[in-house]
């Protein structure tokens, strides 16, 4: 299949009339799969009301069929078509954080394709903030089901070139709207329980959720590796470069020693580090990938997946990574790094 690429300036006005977005929207209505930018990562979208269209997403990604997709909408009326009911807590969160990087799990309406929910009675809803995503959904006139636009198991794409690497020839087209802003995916919260529960930490922090709701719970599987995650996708190994990743806690000295020891045994070594520390590895590591600055963890979130993907352009034996405080956006960063390091009981792929 020929994969078309449309470049779209997200700051231009009247995007719904943009020729590329119009053409991409036509493909969506015709049941094809289109990659598009969101403010978190690029998504792989299809008409959420069509089982046949949604099946093509699973095929293109190589995604296990038990892993449900998030439905992306561009206005609040669409939420009422996709949800059977909207719990009070969900409504509060939608008002506070939409459009933005938050996915709320709510009871699913019958109109939602069964392949979207993977047989669950609930559905994940998200109203993205990215102007290209919003224009595409409005122009298509249907809610769009979309996982991250990576091949299963790989780091999520934050640039159109990452999508091209994984999806060229597998989908109808890619809308290139430049780099995604947040860099890690949306926070997924279950609003069907008494206490709103974080299933996947992401772009909206726990602290932000608690400012609106008071206390929120966490899926026990986020801490306890033996527990079964409530978001099916969280049980899979994910975000992994080809070479094994090892997280080094402690500090810079510990990381330096780990790299030095591996070099002594003759290994080819990559290091995932920050602007503050990169220099230390200059004559030590074979490949240095800088995610961002420790002074502002939002930059680390932004650059994390690009930094992880870069390693695959080299032939490495092992990658060592810095660790970060798991607070604020750091919670999502550490969750993704732990997954990249292969900490999951299943060895399937998302
Ligand atoms: O930022 C994002 O959320 C990106 C962009 C494209 O919007 N999308 C994304 O989708 O990360 P995906 O499919 O890669 O991750 C969705 C996660 C998976 O872990 C999935 O299992 C979980 O959300 N999920 C989806 N529907 C669910 C449901 N009904 N119940 C529990 N978990 C659900
Ligand atoms: Mg994903």
State the closest ligand 1 atom to the C-alpha of 230, by its place in the atom list counted from 1: 31
314 has pLDDT over 80: yes
Tens digit of pLDDT for each residue in 235-267? 877 888 999 999 999 999 999 999 999 999 999
Across residues 34-54, what is the average pLDDT? 98
Range of the domain at 125: 4-222
Asked whether residue 240 is assigned to any structural domain, the reply reads: no
Please state, in angstroms and rounded to a whole number, the distance separating the CA atoms of residues 108 and 70. Answer: 11
Are 188 and 273 found together in one domain?
A: no
Pocket of ligand 1 contains residue 122 by CB under 6 Å: yes
pTM of the shown model: 0.96
pLDDT at residue 235, as a whole number: 85
CATH classification at residue 203? 3.90.870.10
Last residue of a domain, one of 222, 256, 272: 222
Q: Is 173 found in the same domain as 120?
A: yes
| CATH at 279 | 3.40.50.11030
pLDDT above 90 (res 117): yes
Mark whether 101 and 250 lie in a shared domain: no
Is residue 210 within 8 Å of 279, Cβ to Cβ? no
With a 6 A CB cut-off, is 200 part of the ligand 1 pocket?
yes
State yes or no: pLDDT of 104 exceeds 50.
yes
* Smallest-distance ligand from the CA of 152: 2
Q: What pLDDT is attached to residue 349?
A: 44
164 lies in the same domain as 39? yes
The reply to whether 237 falls in a domain is no
Q: What is the DSSP letter of 70?
A: E
Cβ of residue 115 lying under 6 Å from some atom of ligand 1? no
- 30 and 163 together in one domain: yes
Rounded to 10 deg, the angle between the 297-310 and 160-167 helix axes is: 30
Average pLDDT over residues 67-83: 96
| Confidence at residue 348, expressed as pLDDT on a 0 to 100 scale | 43
What's the pLDDT score for residue 343?
A: 60
Q: Could you tell me the CA-to-CA distances from 19 to 10, 137, 167 in Å, in that order?
A: 13, 14, 22
Q: Report yes or no on 184 lying in a domain.
A: yes
Contact present, 108 and 82 (Cβ < 8 Å): yes
Ligand 2 centroid to 71 CA: how many Å?
13
Nearest CA to ligand 1 atom 21: 233
Domain assignment present for 203 = yes
- Say if ligand 1 is within 6 A of residue 43 CB: yes
332-342 per-position pLDDT tens digit: 999 999 999 98
Is 347 a residue whose pLDDT tops 90?
no
**Strand pairing partners for 105?**
124, 190
**Is residue 34 domain-shared with residue 133, that is, in the same domain?**
yes
Quick check: is 230 in a domain? no
Instruction: Of 41-45, 177-181, 340-344, give the lowest mean pLDDT range.
Output: 340-344
Contact (Cβ atoms closer than 8 angstroms) between residue 200 and residue 49? no
**Residue 85: what pLDDT?**
97
Q: How far is the CA of 94 from the centre of ligand 2 (A)?
A: 22
Q: Residue 190's closest CA among 124, 119, 94?
A: 124
pLDDT value for 189: 98
Instruction: Mention every residue, 6+ apart, whose C-beta is less than 8 A from residue 24.
Output: 6, 34, 36, 136, 139, 173, 175
Question: What is the percent of the chain with per-residue pLDDT over 70, rounded to a whole number?
Answer: 98
pLDDT attached to residue 62? 95
Does one domain contain both 301 and 191? no
pLDDT in tens, 179-207: 999 999 999 999 999 999 999 999 999 99
The rounded distance, in Å, linking the Cα atoms of 27 and 33 is 7
Whether 330 and 268 map to the same domain: the answer is yes
- Dist. CA 254–CA 176, nearest whole Å: 40
163 and 281 co-located in one domain = no
- Residue 350 belongs to a domain: no
The total number of structural domains in the chain stands at 2
Omega within 30 of 0 (cis) for the link into 294: no
Same domain, 278 and 166: no
147 Cα: distance to centroid of ligand 2 (angstroms)? 6
CA of 24 to the centre of ligand 2 (A): 22
Q: Is the CB of 64 under 6 A from ligand 1?
A: no
One domain for residues 18 and 104: yes
Q: Is the domain of 114 the same as that of 263?
A: no
Residue 348 lies in a domain: no
Confidence at residue 225, expressed as pLDDT on a 0 to 100 scale: 83
Per-residue pLDDT tens for 278-300?
A: 999 999 999 999 999 999 999 99
200-235 pLDDT, tens digit each: 999 999 999 999 999 999 999 999 888 999 999 888
Which residues are close to ligand 2, an ion, with C-beta < 5 A? 148
Dihedral angle computed from the Cα positions of residues 245, 250, 251 and 254, in that order, rounded to the nearest 10 degrees:
-70
For 18-27, what is each residue's pLDDT tens digit?
999 999 999 9
Q: Is residue 345 predicted with pLDDT exceeding 50?
A: no
pLDDT (tens digit per residue) in 140-150? 999 999 999 99
Mean pLDDT of the chain: 95
Residue 289 included in any domain: yes
Phi, psi of 66 (to 5 degrees): -90, 10
Cβ–ligand 1 distance for 61 under 6 Å, the answer no
């Amino acid at each position: 299949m020929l994969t078309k690429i449309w470049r779209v300036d997200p700051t231009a006005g009247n995007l719904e009339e943009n020729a590329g977005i119009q053409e991409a929207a036509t493909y969506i209505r015709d049941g094809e799969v289109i990659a598009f930018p969101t403010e978190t990562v690029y998504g792989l979208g299809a008409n959420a009301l069509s089982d046949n269209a949604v099946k093509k997403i699973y095929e293109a990604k190589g995604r296990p069929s038990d892993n449900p997709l998030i439905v992306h909408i561009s206005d609040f009326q669409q939420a009422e078509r996709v949800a059977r009911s909207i719990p009070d807590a969900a409504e509060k969160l939608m008002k506070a954080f939409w459009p933005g990087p938050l996915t709320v799990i709510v009871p699913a309406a019958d109109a939602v394709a069964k392949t979207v929910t993977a047989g669950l009675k609930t559905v994940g809803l998200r109203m993205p903030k990215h102007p290209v995503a919003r224009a595409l959904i409005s122009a298509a006139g249907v809610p769009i089901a979309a996982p991250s636009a990576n091949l299963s198991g790989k780091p999520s794409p934050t640039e159109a070139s990452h999508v091209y690497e994984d999806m060229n020839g597998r989908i109808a087209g890619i809308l290139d709207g430049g780099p995604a802003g947040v860099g890690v995916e949306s926070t997924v919260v279950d609003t069907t329980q008494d206490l709103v529960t974080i299933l996947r930490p992401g772009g909206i922090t726990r602290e932000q959720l608690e400012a609106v709701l008071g206390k929120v719970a966490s899926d026990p599987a986020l801490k306890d590796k033996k527990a079964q995650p409530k978001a099916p996708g969280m049980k899979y190994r994910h975000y992994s470069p080809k070479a094994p990743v090892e997280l080094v806690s402690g500090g810079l000295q510990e990381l330096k020693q780990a790299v030095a020891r591996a070099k002594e045994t003759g290994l080819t070594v990559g290091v995932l580090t920050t602007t503050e520390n990169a220099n230390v590895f200059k004559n030590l590591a074979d490949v240095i990938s800088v995610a961002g600055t420790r002074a502002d963890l939002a930059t680390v979130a932004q650059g994390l997946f690009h930094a992880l993907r870069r390693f695959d352009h080299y032939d490495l034996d092992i990658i060592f990574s810095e660790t970060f405080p798991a607070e604020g956006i750091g919670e999502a960063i550490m969750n993704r790094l732990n997954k990249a390091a292969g900490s999951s009981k299943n060895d399937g792929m998302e």
